[in-house]
Amino acid sequence: MLFSEKLIDWYSINLRDLPWRATQDPYKIWLSEIVLQQTRVVQGMPYYLQFLERFPTVFDLAEAKEDEVLKLWQGLGYYSRARNLHATAQYIAQEKNGIFPQTAKELKKLKGVGEYTAHAIASFCFREPVAVLDGNVFRVLSRVFGVNDEIDTPAGKRIFKDLAQKLLDSEKPDLYNQAIMEFGALQCTPKAPLCNVCPFMQKCVAYQNQMIGDLPRKKKKVKVKEEHINYLVLVDNNGNTFMKQRTQKGIWRNLFEFPRLESEFANGVSEGLNETIRLKSLENQNVELTAFYPKPVKHLLSHRKLFIQFYIGMVTDYSAFASLSKKYHIVQNIHTFAVPVVIERFIGASDFFNS
């Protein structure tokens, strides 16, 4: 039996009942693919359902304000996905009358749609015979066929791309692509794969040669940079505080945050730094700052490790903070603003904003 046939047979028995598999609507498929980028299904599912409930069509999403989209996306991370999602929805609704392109080549021209996503939409919705290549597919192909080439180099990617396309069932590209991704997610997992009940056990190069833990191979190692951020949270008795929307490029662009100071040093929050906050940000006002957490909160991003502390200062008269008022505005209902997840957790844990 061909690899593709055996894979599709496995899929017909083991597939998960996921909502985006019950449709060929390109809007719903596109939405699911964007939500699930760098995200596990169990985490992304609630977001997909919330988005679909709030924006049942691409026209509904296009008409939304970006702040609303970011707020709904809050906690999912990689916020550029949400911004690209909104921009593409506006393009499809306004320029294409709600009609998505039907080929991978044209889909790749959409903002936020790379080769994998384009191939997924094209094959799932329009049955175009183009193979998908994601982390799950890399893992399955490298192990079953013993491909030692590095998956994060141009040469290695080309080898995997050619192999994936060669193995594709051109008559059932939708089923095949979903099957190989599901196989990687459920059977041929990164750790503790179910080799003893694998339909490819006898011919799997990695299994037969005790190479499961060695494949797939990668060349690059991401260098993680440490950053230390100190947020200044000035709160009055009504839970009002200073915040501003970030406009500079970065993963938190267009999200709201408190005034902050950054340090390259792990113990940057010292008595001296506290005094700097008092002099520069509090304008010599008599405000006592209290660290909200016993030690900074560690927040992991793809290329950065953040250590974040929140300093609380109770105030009665915001008009006294003239310099802050020029850069920040007073937020009265903080729960309606889209913020980074680390700030969302702080807000949820703080009595100042939940009374």
Give the global pTM: 0.78
With a pLDDT cut of 90, the percent of the chain lying above it is 63
Catalytic residues: 33
Residue 124 gets the label, from left (phi > 0), alpha (psi -120 to 50) or beta, of alpha
For residues 204 and 145, what is the distance between their CA atoms, to the nearest angstrom? 6
User: Per-domain residue ranges for the chain?
Assistant: 3-214, 225-349
Residue type, 196: N
Give the residues across from 244 on adjacent strands. Answer: 257
pLDDT value, residue 312: 87
Does the CA dihedral 278-282-287-293 come out positive or negative? Answer: negative
Instruction: Catalogue the long-range contacts made by 341-347 (C-beta closer than 8 Å, 24 or more residues apart).
Output: 341/74, 341/75, 341/77, 341/299, 342/297, 342/299, 342/306, 342/308, 343/231, 343/256, 343/257, 343/258, 344/74, 344/75, 345/297, 346/231, 346/292, 346/297, 346/310
Residues 260-271 have a mean pLDDT of 49
Answer whether residue 311 shows pLDDT above 80.
Answer: yes
pLDDT value, residue 285: 60
In order, the DSSP letters of 31-86 are: HHHHHHTTS-HHHHHHHHHHHHHH--SHHHHHHS-HHHHHHHHTTS--THHHHHHH
At 287, is the secondary structure helix, strand, or coil?
coil
pLDDT in tens, 203-240: 999 999 999 999 999 987 778 888 888 888 888 888 88
For residues 230 and 251, what is the distance between their CA atoms, to the nearest angstrom? 18
Class of domain 3-214: mainly alpha
Please, is 36 exposed, middle or buried when counting C-beta atoms within 10 Å of its C-beta (0-12, 13-18, 19+)? Answer: buried
* Between residues 286 and 27, the one the model is more confident about: 27
The structure tokens 């009665």 sit at: 316
The structure tokens 């760098």 sit at: 38
The structure tokens 């596990």 sit at: 40
Tokens representing residue 242 in the block: 């200073």
Decide if 49 contacts 216 (C-beta within 8 A): no
Please name the fold of domain 225-349: Nucleoside Triphosphate Pyrophosphohydrolase (3.90.79)
Instruction: Answer whether 3-214 and 225-349 agree in fold.
Output: no
Instruction: Share the mean pLDDT of the chain.
Output: 88
For residues 144 and 180, what is the distance between their CA atoms, to the nearest angstrom? 12
**For residue 282, which of 254, 259, 249 has the smallest C-alpha distance?**
259
pLDDT in tens, 291-304: 888 888 998 887 78
Answer whether residue 270 shows pLDDT above 50.
Answer: no
Decide if 62 contacts 87 (C-beta within 8 A): no
Residues 92-112 have a mean pLDDT of 97
